[in-house]
Amino acid sequence: MVTADLLANAVVAGLLLGGFYAAVAIGLAIIFGQLDIVNIAHPAFIIAGAYTAYILNSRFGIDPVLIGVLAAPLFFLAGAGIYRVYYGAFERTGQESLSGLAFFFGLMFIIEVVLILVYGVDYRLVQAGYIGESWRIGFVDLPFRMLVPFVVAVALTAGIYLYLARTFTGRAIQAVAQDRLALQLMGVNPIRVKQWAFGLGIATAAIAGALLIIIGPVEPSVGRQYIGRAFAIVVLGGMGSISGMFIAALILGIVESLVNTFMGPSWAPAVAFGVLLLTLALRPSGLFGR
């Protein structure tokens, strides 16, 4: 039965979920959408972010969102270092397509295996005062464990959007995939720009990971569920458009939530690909390709 309150709750829950998906996909919107690097390890970095939040939260009781923000600079450095290796080993010699993919696949495996060896396959979670709370507006439920990630994700998306649009480095990040030589003719070193952008993309994984573990318990292999979704969102959003990515994330969240409510949870994983295939059939450049 489709009732008004069931529908309203499903849409609102989907909106909140979609906001979180934006935080998951935004790093990939930079790394895959702008730089054309197929970083399938991105969700694994998000899991690493979630475990960082778990470790510091369980040991010191620090708020998980704060941990995400504090860990971001470290993730940035790790990302910049990884890009250096990737560039030196694959991109410089033009082998990025297949060997590069294997590189990120390997990285994903390493992160997962290390987490399993150290922490096992048990689900881990964080404590924060707001996690069990919720608001109720009319008949619509707003659980804080979804609302907080939504708000943080919106802030993150707005911040990255403004950074890319308003700063010299941000515009250079947009330019580097469009015409590398032209960027050099502007006096800018494209490798440095890509390194910075890759670092930035990985830094967002620290925050997305903290949000993930606020929403629910996490074990090392849950990242895999997000690979398809994150890539689908970036493609739907028009490859590299941050606003497009954000709207695509919201749409995916809402559709998934509706399917979950009215058809059952077993359908939900198929939603990302269903929406992706349908959109690409109708609009090959994604919803917001420019």
Partner 1 sequence: MANSLSIEGVRAGYGAVQVLEGISLAVRDGETVALLGTNGAGKSTLMKAVMGIVTPSAGRIAAVIDDVEHDLVGKTPEEVVDLGIALVPEGRRLFPKLTVQENLLMGASRRAARGRIDENLAFCFETFPVLAERRGQLAGSMSGGEQQMLALARAIMTAPKILLIDEPSVGLAPIFVARTVEKIAELKRRFGLTVLMAEQNFTQAIKIADRGYVIVHGHIEFEGESRESMQNNDMIRRLYLGM
Residues near partner 1 (CB under 8 A) are 168, 171-172, 174-175, 178-179, 181-189, 290
Q: Which is nearer to partner 1, 111 or 160 (CB)?
A: 160
HSE-up (13 A, CA, CB side) for residue 176? 28
CB of 188 to partner 1, least distance (A): 5
Q: Which is nearer to partner 1, 136 or 290 (CB)?
A: 290
Coil, strand or helix at 217:
coil
Contact assessment for residue 156 and residue 204, using Cβ atoms and an 8 Å cutoff: yes
CA distances from 202 to 27, 148, 197, 241 (A): 6, 21, 9, 17
Contact assessment for residue 213 and residue 54, using Cβ atoms and an 8 Å cutoff: yes
CB of 253 to partner 1, least distance (A): 27
Contact assessment for residue 18 and residue 254, using Cβ atoms and an 8 Å cutoff: yes
Q: Which is nearer to partner 1, 92 or 116 (CB)?
A: 92
CA distance 127 to 258: 29
Sign of CA dihedral 151, 149, 108, 270: negative
Q: Which is nearer to partner 1, 2 or 181 (CB)?
A: 181
CB of 45 to partner 1, least distance (A): 27
Nearest to 160 by CA among 6, 262, 255, 31: 31
Coil, strand or helix at 136:
strand
Residue 12 is given by DSSP the state H
Q: Which is nearer to partner 1, 36 or 179 (CB)?
A: 179
CB of 25 to partner 1, least distance (A): 19
Q: Which is nearer to partner 1, 171 or 224 (CB)?
A: 171
CB of 215 to partner 1, least distance (A): 34
Contact assessment for residue 142 and residue 135, using Cβ atoms and an 8 Å cutoff: yes
Q: Which is nearer to partner 1, 217 or 289 (CB)?
A: 289
CA distance 199 to 196: 5
Contact assessment for residue 48 and residue 109, using Cβ atoms and an 8 Å cutoff: no
CB of 159 to partner 1, least distance (A): 19
CB of 183 to partner 1, least distance (A): 8
